[in-house]
Structures are given as C-alpha cells and as structure tokens.
Amino acid sequence: MGSDSVSTSTKPPQGDPSASLLSLNAGSLSDPSNPHQKNTANSVIFTSLILVTCIALAAASAFSFLFFSFSSVPRTDSSSASLQTTSRSLTKLNHPVVLLISSDGFRFGYQFKTHTPNIHRLIVNGTEAETGLIPVFPTLTFPNHYSIVTGLYPAHHGIINNYFDDPKTGEVFTMASHEPKWWLGEPLWETVANHGLKAATYFWPGSEVHKGSWTCPPGFCKFYNGSVPFDERVDTVLSYFDLPASEIPVFMTLYFEDPDHQGHNVGPDGPEITEAVAGIDRMIGKLIDGLEKRGVFEDVTIIMVGDHGMVGTCDKRLIFLDDLAPWIDIPADWVQSYTPLLAIRPPPGFAPSDVVAKMNEGLRSGKVQNGKNLKVYLKEKLPSRLHYAASARIPPIIGMLDEGFKVEQKRTEGQECGGAHGYDNALFSMRTIFIGHGPRFARGQKVPSFENVQIYNLVTSILNIQGAPNNGSVSFPSTVLLPNPHKF
C-alpha cells in the first residue's frame, strides 16, 4: 500500500438535469435543416413540437426542483466542484482552525445505516475517502488514535497495544498511563504548541501527556471522563469560538465513544448501532449549527474520522490455546493479549522460533478447533505492510486471526456473540471514515482510501506549520487539498 501511489479523483459535480435538457433542446430549435417551413401543416406540427418540448422542459425542471427540495442535505456551491482550483479564503477567522473529530469504532458504511443529514452535509460539501479510511495494525483504539495525531505507525510512536509490558523495566502500560516515556513521536497538539500556537483537546489518547511545549493547559485540555455528555463536549468546543480571534485554538480535538461501545456489545448490525450513529449525527448537526451561528462554519476545517471498524464475533469462532498442549504449553503468563491480537512473550530459555514452529504445527494439524484460522509469526516475519516489528515493546510472537475469530486460553461455558476489532487492517470491516470539510477541501470530492498516518501531514499543511518527521508521505496533502494561494 504505497502511500505515494495515492491519487485523487475528483467526482464530477452532479449536473442539473434541466441544464442538460436545455442544451439538447436549444440544439433542436436552432436546427435550420427543415426545408418545408412554409408548409402550414408542418408549421403547426413544428409549433406543436415546440410546445410539447416546452411542457416537457417545464415538467423536468419541476421534478428536478422537487428532487433537490426534498433532499435534506444542503449543497453549497456544489456545482462549482470541478471549477475549484484553489482554496477558499477565510472570511472571519484570522488563522486556519482544524477541528479533528473521532467517532470511535465508526465502521465505514455506518453512515448509510440511517438518516444522517449532518454527516452527509459534510460529505456532499467536502472531501471523502470514497471507500473509507484505512487504520493501522493492530486496529485497536489507542494505537490508531495516536497514529492519527503523530503520523507514525505504532512501532514508532510506542503505543503498540491498548495495554502492554515494557520488556526492559517490566512496567505495564494501560490506557490510564500518562507518563511521557510511553508516548513517543510528536502529536499534533505538541507540534502546534511548539509553533507558539494554541491547541485544545476534548479527549484524545495521549492528550493528557505533557510533551515538549504541550502542558495540557487547564481549560483547553480535558482529562478523560467518559461520563461527560456528548452535548457538553460540543458546547465546550463551540465556546472556544467565542474567544477573541487571537485566542481561538488553531487545533482542536473532539472525541465520542460511540458507536464503538455499542459495537462491542451487539456487533456491527444491531439496532443499537443505528441509534448510536443517529446520535453522532445529531452531535455533528449541533456543532454545525453552533459554528454557523458564530459565522465561522465555512472558515473552520472539520476532519471527521473513526479509529477502526467492527466485525461480528458470533458463531463460536474460537481457538483455545490449551488445545495446543500436545505440541506446546502456552501458559497464560506468556500471553500479553489474546484477541484479536495474539501477542506472546515467552520467558528466557524458550526460543520464540521454536514456540512459533510448534504452535503452527498444532494449528495446521487439523486436530485443533478452528486452528486453520490462526497463523502465528515471529514479528519480524509478519507481512511488512503491517509495520509491526520495529519496537522492543512488540512481543516476539504475534498471531494473526481470520476475520471474526477469537483466541482464548481455555474452554469456558459462556460463549457470547458481540463485536470486535484489532484484526488485519487489510480487512474491509476494519475500515472507518474520513471526511474533510473546509476551505482547503474541494466540495464533493472523492479520494481513494488511504492510511490514517497521512492525516498528520494534512493537518500541518492546512495550518501552514512545519510538522515532525513521520510515516506519512510528504506529497500526500497536495493530492487531497486544494492549493492555497492565500496567506492563510
């Protein structure tokens, strides 16, 4: 998945059907090829044809009017999509502002589950990854959120799982660890602060960590608290736009736990997901309303993403490590995580390559339930497209599960249906959304899917600041953004 191969494809604007009818009939009317115009009968026929044409034209115009009137998605200046060659200038703000929104576990396609007029307003008037945003491997929440804001693969930004051990110190990272030593790379809020600009984070993994010039300033850096109502989060972000122009943060994050929360409980197809998606759409609507009331909606760049998708894990698609006992014992204390990312660190004295060989022998024997759906690798032997080897924090043995399968240590009574993510990022079910709306995004533009490590460079390009080195392509922003001839 070479990032340099990414290119844009601008979708032609949806033309006004009455416009094409007009041009067709104008051609007929100016046709001088009728040599019998003096013939009265022919004149009557000709006049009748004109009348019929006019009636048809009026009907077509009326239908097109009704069609667009019934559409609840306002299209602003959409007919000029193909004419846009440069970014739109700011009208009220004196500096570009990027608002990065994450809807956790928003699988690509959820936007079609129900009526989502506000999300579609951003899509129709902005730029969308047409077949979704590709997460990094493992397709888990913390590694992906931190890749989005650093442009780095997990092996390079250090958050290689939602929880893991440091093999050197034995210390344990959890999602509540805020010591800077865990969080490598330079997240966007730090880059912004390093340039003397203001950032504000309303929840994002890593945002509470003091790094470089970023001090997690009170009032602009919220400590994670999942019980804060979504409305309150949106209201707070909107309140930043009531500050004097020079004090408005130029980069803001906004995070919603939904619909991931529901996806784990019921899988991607439960009615709870539909409700959660509608709820997120309402929050986007509230945000748009608030920005419009302040006269800054068209000035603000909104980038809406998710961190990963979701897949159903029903049907008892389980693999039990204890079933491998005839080949090798895998005690629970060797296992750093089970599912969907199986990560094993054997103690000294056990060669990882021997463990891998014996596990795979058992899994391929045909005697282990669902054994063929798990393949175990030395991390260095994982497909290179996963970028999941170059860190001592990554345990030496990684198991790749087929979509929807899970690993457990031993058989238990309760086997439940639900949803999971963390699988190979090549799976379509793990994809999420990317929507960009703002002065640098062409309206109605569709771009091919890309990996979320590209987003860091997109944001620094929009903010006109120099970013830190990262795994994104330097040329990527120019393939997605409109060129910027304005000072800002």
- Tell me which residues are annotated as active site: 141
Q: Tell me how far apart the alpha carbons of residues 291 and 283 are, in angstroms, rounded to a whole number.
A: 12
Instruction: Give the count of beta carbons closer than 10 Å to the beta carbon of residue 347.
Output: 8
Contact 127, 442 (CB under 8 A): yes
Residue 260 or 323: which CB sits closer to Zn ion? 260
CB nearer Zn ion, residue 276 or residue 300:
276
How many Cα atoms occupy the beta-carbon half-sphere of 109 within 13 Å? Answer: 11
Q: How far is the CB of 422 from Zn ion (least distance, A)?
A: 9
**CA separation for the pair 177, 183 (Å, rounded):** 9
# chain residues binding Zn ion, by CB under 5 A: 5
**373 CB-side CA count, 13 A:** 20
Provide the minimum distance between the beta carbon of 307 and Zn ion in the complex, in angstroms, as a whole number: 4
Using rule CB under 5 A, residue 104 touches Zn ion: yes
> Whose CB is nearest to Zn ion?
141
The pair phi, psi for residue 129, each rounded to 5°, is -75, 110
The reply on whether position 307 binds Zn ion by CB under 5 A is: yes
Window 117-156: residues binding Zn ion (CB under 5 A):
141
CB of 121 to Zn ion, least distance (A): 25
Decide whether 151 or 419 has the Cβ nearer to Zn ion: 419
CB of 432 to Zn ion, least distance (A): 9
Q: Count how many residues are written for the chain.
A: 488
Joined tokens for residue 156 = 């390079």
432 contacts Zn ion (rule: CB under 5 A)? no
Task: Give the β-pairing of 445-447 and 127-129.
Answer: parallel
In angstroms, the CA 385 to CA 369 distance is 29
Between 186 and 260, CB nearer to Zn ion: 260
Give the SS3 label for residue 98.
strand
- From residue 225 to residue 264, the character string flagging contacts with Zn ion as x (rule: CB under 5 A) and all else as - is -----------------------------------x----
| Cβ-based nearer residue to Zn ion, 201 or 373 | 201
Could you tell me the smallest distance in angstroms from the CB atom of residue 335 to Zn ion? Answer: 22
State the sign of the Cα–Cα–Cα–Cα dihedral 118, 119, 120, 124: positive
Neighbours of 296 (CB within 10 A): 19
Q: Which window, 100-108, 176-184, 190-198, 272-280, contacts Zn ion (CB under 5 A)? A: 100-108
Q: Give me the residues that bind Zn ion (CB under 5 A), please.
A: 104-105, 141, 260, 307
